[in-house]
Amino acid sequence: MEIETIEMGEKKARFVIRDTSPAMANALRRALVNKVPKMAIDTVEFHLGSMRDEEGKEYESKTPLFDEIIAHRLGLLPVPTDLSLYTYKDKCVCGGEGCPNCTIIYSLVKSGPCTVLSSDMVPLGDPNLAICDPDIPILELGDGQSVMIYAHAVLGTAENHAKWQAASGVGYKYMPVITVKSSKRAQEIADSCPRGVFTVSASGDLGVEKPLDCMLCDSCVEVDGGESVEVVGDETSFVFSFETDGSLSAETMILKACEVISEGAKAFSESVDAL
């Protein structure tokens, strides 16, 4: 299998994989979606009662939302994850008690009126562990209302809950192979393509400018029943794309997904040998 990068951003990747099979492309998709671990908030403690600010004003620890809804929203915040630092809580040396190797603790203390944002989640210890996107709204507090929360983030995978899913929009398509046989109806064919794949030169020749943008819709083929253009999907090459929520970089996700597939294949092979 060969990988050719088209775009590799911090949170977005687009690449071509060649000399492989649809099964392998799907294995990579599945690994990216639910096998790559990330940190996510799993436990939330709400502190009840009244609070006083520095000026002596009293606030009631209550919010317009149910605690469960707030906890769910906190679970979906992108927590920065260094996979070399963290381990699963149940496999940690602390025996599942919670320690810096397996848990990140955030505190949230806020009084209204205000909008509580993800930037209000303060990590205990390293400030680099602040939530990746600071502008995610969590809840609205009215005058006299306040929240005091301690939230614990742990490592997990989306096999257990979607909050541990770092990749979104994971998809692939067969590599389009476009052959131009005639330029007789060049302009008509170029205009028929919704993705602007074709160009028409000054001399009227039909050219393929952006083959990777082709979505195999066959609009160009339908113009003259395939007399001018032939479009097929190469079943051994795939154009792959996905985005991350920011907790892991796109590159780290690809490397980890490949590692997971490789480990799975090795474990399977060992099981077969044992039989």
Query: Smallest gap, in angstroms, from Cβ of residue 152 to Zn ion?
Result: 11
Cα–Cα distance, 261 to 24 (Å, whole number): 9
Q: Which of residues 100-119 bind Zn ion (CB under 5 A)?
A: 101-102
Query: Smallest gap, in angstroms, from Cβ of residue 125 to Zn ion?
Result: 14
Is residue 43 at the binding interface for Zn ion, with CB under 5 A as the rule? no
Query: Smallest gap, in angstroms, from Cβ of residue 95 to Zn ion?
Result: 8
SS3 190: helix
Query: Smallest gap, in angstroms, from Cβ of residue 166 to Zn ion?
Result: 21
Contact residues for 64 (Cβ-Cβ < 8 A; gap 6+): 139, 140, 141, 142, 145
Residue 43: closest CA among 82, 77, 71? 71
Q: Which CB, 80 or 112, lies closer to Zn ion?
A: 80
Cα–Cα distance, 91 to 56 (Å, whole number): 45
Q: Which CB, 102 or 260, lies closer to Zn ion?
A: 102
Q: What is the dihedral of CA 52, 122, 102, 151, to 10 degrees?
A: 40
Query: Smallest gap, in angstroms, from Cβ of residue 101 to Zn ion?
Result: 5
Q: How many residues bind Zn ion (CB under 5 A)?
A: 5
Per CB under 5 A, the list member of 92, 147, 231, 260 interacting with Zn ion is 92
Whether residue 80 has a cis bond before it, omega within 30° of 0: no
Q: Is 169 left (phi over 0), alpha (psi -120 to 50) or beta?
A: left
Region near Zn ion per CB under 5 A, out of 23-31, 98-106, 163-171, 225-233: 98-106
Is residue 212 at the binding interface for Zn ion, with CB under 5 A as the rule? no
Letters for 153-182 (x = contact with Zn ion by CB under 5 A, - = none) are ------------------------------
Cα–Cα distance, 83 to 248 (Å, whole number): 9
Task: Return residues touching Zn ion (CB under 5 A).
Answer: 92, 94, 99, 101-102
